[in-house]
Amino acid sequence: MKVLTTALVALTIIAPTIASAETCTTQETFGVIIHGGTARAGNVPEERLSFMREILTDARADLDRGAEALDVVEMLVANMEDSGLFNAGKAAINNAGGFVETDASIMDGKTMEAGSVASMKLVRNPIKAARLVMDETRHVMMVGDRGETAVTSLGAETVEAEYFVNNKHHDEPEKHGTVGAAVLDRCGNLAAGTSTGGYDAKIPGRVGDSPVIGAGTYAKNGVMAASATGHGEFFIRFTATRSIAARMEYGGLSVGDAAQAAIDEMAAAGSDGDGRGGLIAIDAEGNFAMPFSSEGMVRGITSNTQTPVAGAFGNME
């Protein structure tokens, strides 16, 4: 596979490299897998793929230097939220009431701690708010106006409603995608995170799988880390990401077979496109899985042996 070096658009924001408090260098193996949501044929601008290669390049360098998985997950998802290219953060899609409500979650496979937020209206980076919930409270999930007040008091940055580029009514079909990341660091730690604006024209107050631990996000050291994208109601009902870990732990499946089985189960249960979507996962040995039942899934990978590549349908480059 080859790596393309396409220039980024001017609005792209790349976060600085991570200065981790602890250095993970006990093994050579590390890996990163990210997604930018499901895709329809002919509907994936090259700038998204180019952007993903750029942030994967930064993540690869950070992990090589010993950054921790949890910090890299937060950085990657926050970059995608700030980019204005995906249905998360700045480009989160509006709901039926004409305003944005965002959801996100993050999980540390080393400690099994997790944090999430849902129905945030003015939080700039929901993934950072989710990390604050995990690190600074005894809770896992904070929601709605009162949850937003809580995470703001903890330091979550807020913005004006005009910051969100899709915070207005439109008649075009949803064109963006949920974002997520799963990482294995050089200490063998796993972590995952997911962020979204949800469905276009969703009922205000609707919460999908992205902030639900075990549905949209899951990580457990020694097993796997995963993030989901697609029909959130199905991913919640089938506990999609946790089911991958269960199939691996109790059924002895590989991460690839376990993730594919989870996707197939939901697709079989749905009709007229319901139950479709995709999953990204990485196991404790650095093996990747990225099955999808939708037309495509915007995704990218890198590792200690793999240069950054990204794609939406067939081969990645």
Among 5, 12, 25, 178, the one annotated catalytic: 178
Rounded CA-CA distance 209/146 in Å is 20
Rounded CA-CA distance 40/61 in Å is 32
Q: Is 6 a catalytic residue?
A: no
Rounded CA-CA distance 7/19 in Å is 26
Rounded CA-CA distance 219/202 in Å is 28
- Structure tokens belonging to residue 244: 């991958």
Side by side, which strands form the sheet with 288-289?
A: 217-220, 224-230, 277-283, 288-289
User: What are the angstrom distances between the C-alpha of 295 and each of 132, 162, 193?
Assistant: 35, 32, 23
Backbone angles phi, psi at 301, to 5 degrees: -140, 160
* CB contact set of 132 (below 8 Å; sequence gap of 6+): 115, 151, 154, 155, 156
Asked if 150 and 140 touch (Cβ cutoff 8 Å), the reply is: no
Active site (catalytic) residues: 178
